[in-house]
Amino acid sequence: MEELVQKEVQTIPKIVFENINKVFHTRKQTIVAVKDYDMQVDQGDFVSIIGPSGCGKSTLIRMLNGIIQPTSGRMLLDGIPLDTSKPYSQETLRKMGFIFQQPNMLPWYTIRQNITLPLKIFGLDTPEYQEYADELISVTGLQKFADSYPIEASGGALQRAGVVRAMVHKPEILLMDEPFGALDEMLREQLNMELLSIWKRLNITIIFITHNVEEAVLLSNSIYVMATEPGRLVEKVDIDLPRPRSLEMITQPRFVSYTQRLVDLIGSVELRQIK
């Protein structure tokens, strides 16, 4: 009996989107950014959301993080519905780390001060957490930039710092909104591999937004493909490739067949959209 209960607890998904809708009303028009969206993400999962620009990818994780509120539907965290009628408590927010498309660093703080800002705001500014911050800084190779101001650091270093800032309070979930989209190919590949090793080490749950098909296949357990107008889910593609993943896999036939399938899916979505 006890075992049964245990099992039940373990199968509660980390994140659930239940029939989520988001409508934006602007002065000129009404935009259905997300329509009837459903998604379940397990603890320790790595899922990507992919789709053409404007299909509601950002809107989804921004709702989950409480930056904006859904028009209808439910989101559950660890099986508990999120109350979107008021700003989330810090207790809830602490479970998540949000990584923006831009580094979004504050120029008056050094990289280290930027990274440790969440500790100040969350009231976690203890030696333990500071030590953890230092560890993350060294794991990501940011030591030599730690005491520089953002303006003095490279784009790659800033984006790394953005990732570290979102992790410094030990969240259980990382929400990443096209985090490396602005970086060049080489750097992006490198950061993706770093991300995978961090993910494996921390057993953290990641929702990763991208419009790069290869990146999505390389990183994810499953990929949610979205279409636009209205923003909606068209298909969930599970990626059954062995881990650990490596960049060499990109040229392997199974990898290529996944990317081809996704490209076709997104292509047909975009074609329909043009018509």
Partner 1 sequence: MKLSKKTITNILAPLVTFLLLFGFWEWAVSHYQLPKWLLPAPSGIIQSMVVNFNDFWPHILITFETVLIGFLIAVPVGILLATLITSNKIISAALSPFVIFLVTTPLVTLIPIMMLFMGFGQKVRIIGVVIQAFSIVNMNTVTGILNVPIIRHELMQTMGSNKFQSLRHMIYPTAIVDIFTGVRLSAIFATTACISAEYVAGNHGLGSQIIKYSQFLKTTESFACIFYVTIIGLFMYGFVAFLQKKVIYWKI
Cβ partners under 8 Å of residue 112, min gap 6: 133, 137, 146, 147
Backbone dihedral angles phi then psi of residue 247, each to the nearest 5 degrees? -65, -25
CA distance 93 to 75: 14
If one asks whether residue 107 binds partner 1 (CB under 8 A), the answer comes out as yes
* Contact stretch for ligand ADP (CB under 6 A) within 23-31, 114-122, 166-174, 180-188: 23-31
CA distance 226 to 242: 25
Cβ partners under 8 Å of residue 217, min gap 6: 223, 239, 241, 255, 258, 259, 262
Query: What does the angle CA 214 – CA 194 – CA 206 come to, to the nearest 5 degrees?
Result: 70
Query: What do you get for the CA distance between the two ends of the chain, in Å?
Result: 57
Nearer to Mg ion, 58 or 228 (CB): 58
**Per-residue binder mask for partner 1 (CB under 8 A), 8-47, x = binder:** ----------------------------------------
If one asks whether residue 110 binds Mg ion (CB under 5 A), the answer comes out as no
Contact (Cβ atoms closer than 8 angstroms) between residue 38 and residue 73: no
CA distance 32 to 71: 10
Among residues 47, 48, 50, 59, the one that binds ligand ADP under rule CB under 6 A: 59
* Contact stretch for ligand ADP (CB under 6 A) within 2-10, 56-64, 122-130, 144-152: 56-64
Judged by beta carbon distances under 5 to 8 A according to partner kind, the member of Mg ion, partner 1, ligand ADP, none in contact with residue 98 is partner 1
Nearer to Mg ion, 58 or 116 (CB): 58
CA distance 86 to 174: 22
- The long-range contacts involving 25-31, CB below 8 angstroms and separated by at least 24 positions, are none
If one asks whether residue 58 binds Mg ion (CB under 5 A), the answer comes out as yes
If one asks whether residue 182 binds partner 1 (CB under 8 A), the answer comes out as no
Shortest reach from residue 99's CB to Mg ion, in Å: 12
If one asks whether residue 70 binds partner 1 (CB under 8 A), the answer comes out as no
If one asks whether residue 108 binds partner 1 (CB under 8 A), the answer comes out as yes
* Contact stretch for Mg ion (CB under 5 A) within 33-41, 52-60, 122-130, 182-190: 52-60
Residue 170: left (phi > 0), alpha (psi -120 to 50), or beta?
Answer: left
**Per-residue binder mask for partner 1 (CB under 8 A), 147-166, x = binder:** --x-x--------------x
* Binding site residues, partner 1, CB under 8 A: 62, 65-67, 87-90, 93-94, 96-98, 100, 102, 104, 106-109, 117-118, 120-122, 149, 151, 166
Residues binding Mg ion (CB under 5 A): 58
